[in-house]
Amino acid sequence: MNRPRLALAAVSVAAFATLGACGSTTPAGPTLAATENGAGTGSGAPADACAKASLPLVTSGKLTVGTDKPAYEPWFSKDDPSNGKGYESAVAFAAAEKMGFAKADVTWVVVPFNTAISPAAKTFDFDINQISISPERKNAVDFSSGYYDVRQAVVTYKGSPLDGKTTVAELKEANLAAQVGTTSYDAIKNQIQPSNDPKVFDTNDLAVQALKNKQIDGIVVDVPTAFYMVAAQLDDGVIVGQLPATGTPEQFGAVLDKGSALTPCVSKAIDALRSDGTLDKLQQEYLANAGAPELK
């Protein structure tokens, strides 16, 4: 999903439709200065270019990370990116550690979404703010390797016919809805394949109203929007679960200045986190346990 819509406009929750997955063969290690050449998006950077002392930083010796405010759950905790809690905060600190920075050497700055993706010179070394990688945005900024593969999720209300379901098969008799022309609609048709034709709405706001009126059983949206709906739009909303991953996912990436010499180094750090299982572990800790279990 693209951030300044629904979830993102109100909560700065970006989002998450379909981009190339970013695999990695970069070996994991305590810091990236010890590795030889990066893989994935960051491949080709010599090791000394990613040594801490060689990095072109906004503030010497400090890694400056940007994100929007408010910083919402489950991406951050208690509107405080610096506490290391929440998925994106934890990813930022883990990447910083791979780059050779202690937690005390990481500084956070407030960066509105539109500022982060503008071509203007940056006040941060990288920004992490649920921003989907897209070819259009790459014209203005750099992206690191993807640190989160966006999934589709089913949202309902407490006590609905879908509340408590744990498998895709249990959704087939449901009355589901999605915004017109979205990958969410495609997920209903192709993955869930319900007996009833899905309802189509011009906006997610209209779908939410239909769910409130109990005209439908559930809405399919990307996971970031699902978190926003249950946190801000539905008094009794619940996420039934995430649909299984298929095809090429949309991804969130860290944003950097266009042509930044830091881009391959941040990518190497994120590739290493994906390779050593850290990203999966953090997703289980902060996203699955936050109320978005995977449907079987």
Mean pLDDT value across residues 125-148: 94
Residue that is last in its domain, among 227, 242, 257:
242
State the Cα–Cα distance between residues 119 and 140, nearest whole angstrom.
Answer: 5
User: Which two tokens mark 121?
Assistant: 């010179």
Q: Which of 129, 132, 119 is nearest to 75 (CA)?
A: 129
pLDDT digits (tens, 9 = 90+) for 152-195: 999 999 999 999 999 999 999 999 999 998 889 989 999 999 99
CB neighbours of 172 closer than 8 A, spacing ≥ 6?
192, 193, 194, 195
Is residue 185 assigned to a domain?
yes
Query: What domain range is 159 assigned to?
Result: 152-242
Greatest mean pLDDT among 19-23, 143-147, 180-184 lies in 143-147
Mean pLDDT value across residues 245-249: 81
pLDDT, residue 290, reads 77
Is residue 117 assigned to a domain?
yes
State the Cα–Cα distance between residues 64 and 77, nearest whole angstrom.
Answer: 19
Is residue 237 assigned to a domain?
yes
Is residue 168 assigned to a domain?
yes
On whether both 254 and 115 belong to a single domain, the answer is yes
Average pLDDT, the chain: 85
pLDDT, residue 132, reads 86
CB neighbours of 276 closer than 8 A, spacing ≥ 6?
28
Under the banding of pLDDT at 50, 70 and 90, the label for residue 28 is: very low
Mean pLDDT value across residues 246-261: 92
Where does the chain show beta strands of DSSP type E?
63-67, 106-110, 126-127, 141-149, 152-157, 176-179, 199-201, 218-222, 237-242, 251-257
Beta-bridge partner residues of 218: 176
Residue that is last in its domain, among 242, 258, 276:
242
pLDDT surpasses 70 at 101? yes
Other CB atoms closer than 10 Å to residue 17's CB: what's the count? 17
Lowest mean pLDDT among 161-170, 203-212, 269-278, 282-291: 282-291
Prediction pTM value:
0.71
User: Which two tokens mark 54?
Assistant: 């060689």
Residue whose pair of structure tokens reads 């298929």 in the numeric block: 246
On whether both 130 and 57 belong to a single domain, the answer is yes
On whether both 212 and 266 belong to a single domain, the answer is no
Is residue 1 assigned to a domain?
no
pLDDT, residue 18, reads 33
Is residue 199 assigned to a domain?
yes
pLDDT, residue 163, reads 97
CATH code (residue 40): 3.40.190.10
Are the beta carbons of 191 and 244 closer than 8 angstroms? yes
On whether both 86 and 157 belong to a single domain, the answer is no
Domain count, the chain: 2
On whether both 21 and 105 belong to a single domain, the answer is yes
Is residue 293 assigned to a domain?
no
Please, how many CA atoms are within 13 Å of residue 49, restricted to the half-sphere of its CB? 16
On whether both 128 and 200 belong to a single domain, the answer is no
Under the banding of pLDDT at 50, 70 and 90, the label for residue 47 is: low
Higher pLDDT, 226 or 292: 226
On whether both 56 and 201 belong to a single domain, the answer is no
State the Cα–Cα distance between residues 152 and 225, nearest whole angstrom.
Answer: 9
Other CB atoms closer than 10 Å to residue 134's CB: what's the count? 17
On whether both 275 and 205 belong to a single domain, the answer is no
Other CB atoms closer than 10 Å to residue 136's CB: what's the count? 8
Are the beta carbons of 66 and 4 closer than 8 angstroms? no
On whether both 252 and 230 belong to a single domain, the answer is no
Under the banding of pLDDT at 50, 70 and 90, the label for residue 45 is: low
On whether both 74 and 46 belong to a single domain, the answer is yes
Is residue 296 assigned to a domain?
no
Are the beta carbons of 116 and 66 closer than 8 angstroms? yes
Give the SS3 label for residue 106: strand
On whether both 117 and 193 belong to a single domain, the answer is no
pLDDT, residue 228, reads 87
Q: 3-class secondary structure for 50-89?
A: HCHHHCCCCECCEEEEEECCCCCCCCCCCCCHHHCCCHHH
On whether both 273 and 221 belong to a single domain, the answer is no
